[in-house]
């Protein structure tokens, strides 16, 4: 019998729901502009930069400084440095996603507290490879996501090393470099919204995107549990740096933001409990509603495209009833 079936009997049929509806947090897009609100949005905790994007920036910086070959080696494709980048990316994914999974789903350190679904991840379910939701998800992460992520990174770094694409240096353009870092989460959201709506079209959904949506009650490894064609589209966001001036660090950061951030959007919990008095907001409820309702919340609400284009649902009564566990 599956964990899901067991939990339906042993766990109370309750689930965490944040305040309805999800509040509009887009100070940058308010009119007239409010400088105080914009600064709070940019530097607040939680906010646009803190804590998660700052963590990814630090991870990308360490990766670039310590675990990326120098530019001369990158000029020629070689198995040694390609293998290094693959190993580095795989290690990052296992450490980061594994930490979420172990704390929330293996140790169950906070139990059902702040969990959207009153069920745990599925075991003994023939819908998934190996009859296990977790191992199915890990399979697609390791054998599809990491190779395609690494391929995009290798190609981009090789083109930059050979000056086939426009590049900038931090020494000569520090302000531009920082501004580009700040814009990366916005670009990632815009790109994700566009490709996400595209793969929800009938044939693409049935052939490709259905694989990701097998995870209705998702966990951290579900973030990159995608069909290889979807990985090709998802990580193609980095192609923007084939056309606009950028540094290699920008490419590394964007790819790691996509790869590591996907697990954050699929933890299945609204808050990370640090101790009895302190929690950190995870803010993935919009995406939970997307997995429940399918036709809403195609972006991650950094740029409010869902609100502008009529696909937003932040937790209306209608969404509440449809998102109820069954």
pLDDT of residue 191: 98
pLDDT score at 40 = 86
Could you give the percent of the chain with pLDDT greater than 70?
Answer: 90
Residue 10 pLDDT = 43
- Per cent of the chain over pLDDT 90 is 77
> Which one has a higher pLDDT value, 25 or 213?
213
Largest CA distance in the chain: 63
Q: What beta strand segments (E) does 176-292 contain?
A: 271-273, 279-281
Say which range, 152-161, 222-231, 272-281, has the weakest mean pLDDT.
272-281
Position 16 scores a pLDDT of 87
Whether residue 8 is preceded by a cis peptide bond, meaning omega within 30 degrees of 0, is no
Q: Are 144 and 214 in contact (CB under 8 A)?
A: no
Question: How far is Cα 281 from Cα 48, in angstroms, rounded to an integer?
Answer: 12
Residue 233: is its pLDDT beyond 90? yes
DSSP state of 242: G
**Measured between alpha carbons, how far is residue 281 from residues 32, 42, 192, 219, 267 in Å?**
28, 16, 22, 16, 12
pLDDT grade for 20, boundaries at 50, 70 and 90: low
Scanning the structure block, which residue is given the tokens 């990814």?
56
CA distance 297 to 307: 9
Provide φ and ψ at 273, rounded to 5°: -85, 120
pLDDT per position as a tens digit, 76-123: 999 999 999 999 999 999 999 999 999 999 999 999 999 999 999 999
For residue 209, is pLDDT > 60? yes
Of 125-134, 175-184, 268-277, least confident by mean pLDDT is 268-277
Please write the tens of the pLDDT for every residue from 220-230.
999 999 999 99
Alpha-carbon distance 65 to 83, whole Å?
Answer: 17
pLDDT at 245 over 60: yes
Average pLDDT over residues 195-212: 97
Task: Give the pLDDT confidence score for residue 319 in this predicted structure.
Answer: 45
pLDDT category of residue 317 using cuts at 50, 70 and 90 = low
**Alpha carbon of 8 to those of 11, 181, 246: distances in Å?**
6, 44, 51
**Quick one: tokens of 86?**
């693959």
User: Alpha-carbon distance 129 to 214, whole Å?
Assistant: 11
Measured N-to-C along each axis, helices 174-198 and 248-264 cross at an angle, to the nearest 10 degrees, of 50
Residue 187: closest CA among 254, 264, 244: 254
pLDDT of the residue at 13: 52
Q: 183-196, pLDDT tens digit by residue? A: 999 999 999 999 99
């Amino acid at each position: 019998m599956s964990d899901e079936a067991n939990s339906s009997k042993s766990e109370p049929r309750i689930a965490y729901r944040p305040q309805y509806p999800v509040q509009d947090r887009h100070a940058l897009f308010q009119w007239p502009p409010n400088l105080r609100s914009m600064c709070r949005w940019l530097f607040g905790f939680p906010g646009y930069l803190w804590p998660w994007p700052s963590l990814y920036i630090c991870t990308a910086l360490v990766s670039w400084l310590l675990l990326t070959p120098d530019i001369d080696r990158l000029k020629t494709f070689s198995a040694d440095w390609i293998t290094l980048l693959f190993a580095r990316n795989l290690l990052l994914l296992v450490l980061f996603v594994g930490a979420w999974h172990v704390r929330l789903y293996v140790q169950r350190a906070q139990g059902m507290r702040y969990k959207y679904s009153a069920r745990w991840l599925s075991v003994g379910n023939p819908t998934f490879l190996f009859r296990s939701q977790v191992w199915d998800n890990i399979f697609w992460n390791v054998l599809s996501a990491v190779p395609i992520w690494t391929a995009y990174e290798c190609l981009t770094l090789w083109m930059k090393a050979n000056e086939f694409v426009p590049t900038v240096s931090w020494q000569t353009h520090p302000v531009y470099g920082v501004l580009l870092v700040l814009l990366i989460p916005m670009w990632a959201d815009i790109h994700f919204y566009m490709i996400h709506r595209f793969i929800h079209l009938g044939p693409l959904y049935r052939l490709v995107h259905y694989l990701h949506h097998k995870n209705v009650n998702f966990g951290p490894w579900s973030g990159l549990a995608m069909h290889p064609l979807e990985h090709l589209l998802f990580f193609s966001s980095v192609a923007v740096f084939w056309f606009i001036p950028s540094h290699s660090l920008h490419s590394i950061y964007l790819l790691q933001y996509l790869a590591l951030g996907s697990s954050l959007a699929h933890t299945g919990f609204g808050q990370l409990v640090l101790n009895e008095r302190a929690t950190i907001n995870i803010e993935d409820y919009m995406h939970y509603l997307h997995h429940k309702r399918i036709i809403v919340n195609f972006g991650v609400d950094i740029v409010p495209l869902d609100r502008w284009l009529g696909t937003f649902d932040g937790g209306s009564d209608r969404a509440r009833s449809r998102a109820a566990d069954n």
